[in-house]
Amino acid sequence: MASRILHLAAAKLILDEHPAADEKRFRLGSILPDAGERVSAHFRVRIDGGTKTMMALGGFRARFADKMDDPLYLGYYLHLVQDIVFRKVFYLDHGWKVDSPQKVERLYDDYRILNTWAIEKFALREDLTAPEDFSAEPICAVSDFALPEFLAELHADFTTPPPPGDCVYFTKAIAEEFLTAAVPLCRREIAALREGKTAVDERAWAWEARQEPNLSTPCEPS
C-alpha cells in the first residue's frame, strides 16, 4: 500500500480544502491503519463467496457512525479510501506483481527515495505523538496498534537519507498519479459524508482474493 509519508502528503492536500478542528489528530488518523494488523486494521473482508477481497468502508462507517466527525476517525477512514486507490493505480494500472524478495526490497528503496521527495515537495512536518489516552480510543478494539514503535519508524522516514539512485518500480510519476486520483476522491467522500451518503462504491473497488491467512472468515456485508 502507500507509504506513511504519501498518506501524510494526501492528508495535507485534503486539509488544504477541508481544514480539521484538530489537524494533528487528522494526520495521525491518516497513517494509523498501518500501525495495526494488516487485515483487521484495514477492514478487509471476503465477499462473493470468498473470491474477492474488499475494504469494508460501510462497515467502518456503521461501526463508528458517531465518530465520523472526529478528525482521527475521518483520517483513518480516508486512509482506507486511499489504499483502494493505490491498489488500483499500482497493482492494476501499472501491473505491479510480487515476484521475488529482491523485487520487494527494491520497492522499499523506492519508498525511501520518495519519502525525501514528498517531505520536501509538500512541506511535511514530523510533529505527531501518541495521545496519552490512546488505548481508550474505540478504534483500539479493531486491532492491536503498535503506535510508539510506528511513530519511531515515522521519525526514521524523516531522518534517514535516501538510498542512492533513482526509483525503479514505484516512481515519482506514479506517486503523483496516486495522489491525483486519491485526494479528489477523498474530498468528494467528505462532502458525501456530510450529507449522509458515500461517493465510494466499495464493491466496485474489490479485488480478486489471494491467500491471506490472517483474513477473517469470508462474509457478505449487509
- Write out the three cell numbers for 4: 506513511
Give me the amino acid identity at 106.
R
What's the rounded mean pLDDT across residues 84-104? 93
CA separation, residue 23 to residues 41, 128, 189, 214 (Å): 22, 10, 18, 33
What's the rounded mean pLDDT across residues 127-152? 96
- Whether residue 40 is predicted with pLDDT greater than 90 in this model: the reply is yes
- Whether residue 213 is predicted with pLDDT greater than 90 in this model: the reply is no
Say whether 187 sits in a helix, a strand or coil: helix
Q: How far apart are CA 2 and CA 6, in angstroms?
A: 6
Structure confidence at residue 1 (pLDDT): 81
- Whether residue 215 is predicted with pLDDT greater than 50 in this model: the reply is no
pTM of the model: 0.93
Share of residues in the chain with pLDDT > 70 (%): 95
Q: How far apart are CA 78 and CA 185, in angstroms?
A: 9
Kindly report the average pLDDT of the chain as a whole number: 93
- Decide if 35 contacts 51 (C-beta within 8 A): no
The set of residues, in sequence order, having a beta carbon less than 8 Å from that of 221 and lying 6+ positions away, is 45, 47, 54, 56, 58, 59, 202
Q: Is the dihedral of CA 3, 75, 41, 208 positive or negative?
A: negative
Least confident range from 50-64, 126-140, 197-211: namely: 197-211
